[in-house]
Amino acid sequence: MTSFGNAPERTGRDLFGEASAEAFSDAGVDRADVESLYYGNFMGELAEHQGHQGPLMAEAAGIRAPATRYETACASSSAGVRQAVKDIRNGEADVLLVGGAERMTNLGTAGATEALAIAADDLWEVRQGMTFPGAYALMARAYFEQFGGTREDLAEIAVKNHEHALDNEQAQYNSEISVEQVLDAPMVSEPLGLYDSCPISDGAAAAVLVSDEYATDHDVDAPVAITGTGQGGDQLALHDREHLATSPAADEAAAEAYDEAGISAADVDLAEVHDCFTIAEVLAIESLGLYETGEGVDAATRGETAAGGENPVNLSGGLKAKGHPVGATGVGQIADVVKLLRGDHVNSDAVPDADVGVAHNAGGTVASAVVHVMEVRE
């Protein structure tokens, strides 16, 4: 990964060039062996007036191979990873480059908010003034009404994730916050305030995926494998859904990924989840089965999802503190899980015996969701 943060002067190709160079160096794989690039990006046409980004990013990565851009809102690069895993398993490829990037801060707050909003239903949501803070606020209110929970519980999630990001040099925010600061911050959309919301970010992430055969034949050090992948979907507009306080798309994605990996939620040692807003982390940990529906809202309050807790979540800082450059987020999560499992992440000491990690990436108001299971190879 690049560092996530505020870099309006950097282009998407510049960011992805850096991330892919680091990925090749980390993997010890020759660029010439890459058979395809699957690249995630959401708002390139709006932020950089640039479509057809696949070939452009292949050039930035220094490879000559077919390249395809994936767009699934905030889950764009995870969708690319899922396709790459399928291709390798099906014997269609042995070496694939996956990743994503987003340039957002050059648009400014209003411009980026408007660009992000196009992941909602334009006809029935965006034209009525809906933005994602408002959409997730509706989901939070529905959750509180159906299951309970308080703003203080959500504030504990923000505090925890900022704490996890303190020593993460790639995170956008390396600053502590308190529950009182979260509650006293300007309200964005009731009940979500400024500190309940992830930042606007620039950044890129990349990973090299290889088959078992390639790793063996080329003596590649690959201690972590993607053993399960799943994807789910839901109605795009909130008003078309049966429930607002749950995320069926993520339920489906998690169930598929667990089944493929041959594990259950009880086997998960750590998770990186899509906490674009604090309520989103609650929905995520329930969809992953780490908590029963309606029981995850106060997990951070009880200290269970913090470093050292029984279900550590977002040890990177999550989207909330690490940042959320949309097209890069999914592969960024995977990179963090891999490093945590390898033991070379800044917060690996919190999970010294971890063998199984999960990455949960959502698009829009979880109309799309992709889940990947990663395990330490025996």
Q: CA 207 to CA 39: how far, in whole Å?
A: 11
> What CA–CA distances, in Å, run from 298 to 147, 157, 305?
11, 9, 10
Q: Which helix (H) or strand (E) holds 321?
A: helix 318-322
| 49 carries an active-site annotation | no
Q: CA 363 to CA 50: how far, in whole Å?
A: 21
Q: CA 244 to CA 360: how far, in whole Å?
A: 18
Residue tagged active-site, from 74, 164, 345, 360? 74
Q: What angle do CA 139, 172, 137 make, to 5 degrees?
A: 10
| 74 carries an active-site annotation | yes
Q: CA 9 to CA 272: how far, in whole Å?
A: 29
CB 164 within 8 A of CB 314: yes
b/e per residue, 183-198, with b = 16+ CB within 10 A? bebeebbebbbebbbb
Which amino acid, residue 220? Answer: V
- Residue linked to tokens 């979260």: 182
Residue tagged active-site, from 164, 324, 345, 360? 324
Q: Which two tokens stand for residue 243?
A: 């429930």
Active site residues: 74, 324
